């Protein structure tokens, strides 16, 4: 169960500014993907009321939520938006309680009680309480706060590894601890500061969490969070436990990349241009026999394409396969000289050859092939 927060956490990315049309395009792509919940922004965000008004209808089964600080005034503002859910953030580490909020543990619980009760009185049916910086908090106090939220009428507790310091086994332990005490929805928000965001989110789902936050390309504060496209692809393609519509993922990633000014690395999981590209001789030859030998899933599942090219890493079998695939006339005796010419040109160009470049070399008479 994915809570996409590209329009909230993702919009907090340094230097990212999404205009209304960009937000609507991203929103439409996420609806098409079929995420379970869309956290569309935060209370006080410029243009939030207008955006909610424009997209509120026609969301189907996807729930619409907003994030709010743990303050009664902000909860009232959230209630006026008419969204399905409100996500109230409350820090539970002593460092945040003292330095950020200027209070103590008892003061924090009092503030939480007032805010959650106010949300209930305002008619908000589904209240989620996010325990921020839970990975650096006193576990007993964090669990006590979660139980308080439950007793006050909250529907969900969200565990936030706000600085991305956990590893999967620690995430599993954290989720199991809360799962054993809470008979309510449980979510996680995993930051990616040490590259563990997606792995932690997936581990949490496998360890008893009902929801995991994510954003397209993992964008967000600092290094961002778990990546929507990676989680959706794994859950739908590898695990086959969900029915996210992954064919539009790459187009959605490109849209977010353009809107946020974040280039997509060509080897980026799911979204990269070259994730189904192969030059290596052994792998290229094997792919020619059966793609399943070196591809984890069919490229069509994410609307990608397979690219086989010859270059400096190719061997005789790859050259022969390329000649056969291209329908170029050749003799077996031509292959050694052609292989040497291909490798030489690829090293000079510092890349694999295009189909036209390969054909040019293949059609040169043997005695004229530059060696």
What's the pLDDT band for 288 if we cut at 50, 70, 90?
low
What's the pLDDT band for 369 if we cut at 50, 70, 90?
very low
Mean pLDDT of 147-176: 98
Please give the Cα distance from 195 to 112 (Å, whole number).
32
Mean pLDDT of 49-56: 92
Is the CB of residue 345 less than 8 Å from the CB of residue 371?
no
Dihedral through CA 174, CA 175, CA 176, CA 178, nearest 10?
90
pLDDT tens, 329-363?
777 878 888 888 989 898 999 988 888 888 888 88
Least confident of 5-14, 59-68, 292-301, 321-330: 321-330
Give the chain's mean pLDDT.
92
Helix (H) or strand (E) holding 20: helix 20-33
Whether residue 103 has pLDDT greater than 60:
yes
Q: Where are the beta strands (DSSP E) in the chain?
A: 2-4, 37-42, 63-69, 85-91, 126-132, 156-161, 185-190, 211-214, 277-278, 307-308
Please give the Cα distance from 179 to 173 (Å, whole number).
10
pLDDT at 366: 46
- All domains of the chain, ordered by start, with CATH? 2-260 (3.20.20.70), 277-368 (no CATH)
pLDDT tens, 186-237?
999 999 999 999 999 999 999 999 999 999 999 999 999 999 999 999 999 9
pLDDT at 368: 46
Helix (H) or strand (E) holding 108: helix 105-121
pLDDT at 331: 78
Whether residue 257 has pLDDT greater than 50:
yes
């Amino acid at each position: 169960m994915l809570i996409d927060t590209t329009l909230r956490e993702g919009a907090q990315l340094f230097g990212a500014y999404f205009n209304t049309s960009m937000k609507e395009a991203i929103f439409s792509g996420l609806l098409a993907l079929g995420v379970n919940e869309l956290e569309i922004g935060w209370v006080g965000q410029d243009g939030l009321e207008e955006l909610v008004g424009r997209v509120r209808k026609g969301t189907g089964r996807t729930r619409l939520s907003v994030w709010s600080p743990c303050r009664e005034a902000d909860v009232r503002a959230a209630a006026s938006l008419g969204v399905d859910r409100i996500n109230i953030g409350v820090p539970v580490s002593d460092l945040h309680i003292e330095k950020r909020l200027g209070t103590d543990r008892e003061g924090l619980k009092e503030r939480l009680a007032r805010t959650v009760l106010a949300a209930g009185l305002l008619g908000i049916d589904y209240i989620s309480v996010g325990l921020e910086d839970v990975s650096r908090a006193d576990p007993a106090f964090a669990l006590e706060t979660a139980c308080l939220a439950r007793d006050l009428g909250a529907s969900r507790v969200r565990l936030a590894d706000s600085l991305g310091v956990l590893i999967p086994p620690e995430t599993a332990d954290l989720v199991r601890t809360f799962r054993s005490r809470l008979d309510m929805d449980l979510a996680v928000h995993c930051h990616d500061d040490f590259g563990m965001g997606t792995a932690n989110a997936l581990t949490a789902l496998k360890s008893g969490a009902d929801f995991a936050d994510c954003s397209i390309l993992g964008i967000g504060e600092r290094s961002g969070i778990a990546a929507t496209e990676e989680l959706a692809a794994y859950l739908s393609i590898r695990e086959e436990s969900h029915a996210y519509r992954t064919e539009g993922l790459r187009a959605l990633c490109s849209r977010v990349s353009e809107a946020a000014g974040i280039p997509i690395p060509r080897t980026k999981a799911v979204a990269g241009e070259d994730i189904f590209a192969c030059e290596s001789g052994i792998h290229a030859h094997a792919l020619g026999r059966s793609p399943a030998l070196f591809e984890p899933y069919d490229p069509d599942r994410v609307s990608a394409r397979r690219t086989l090219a010859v270059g400096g890493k190719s061997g005789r079998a790859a050259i022969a396969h390329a000649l056969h695939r291209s329908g170029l006339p050749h003799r077996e005796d031509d292959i050694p000289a052609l292989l040497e010419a291909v490798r030489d040109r690829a090293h000079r160009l510092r890349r694999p050859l295009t189909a036209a470049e390969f054909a040019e070399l293949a059609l040169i008479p043997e005695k004229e092939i530059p060696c």
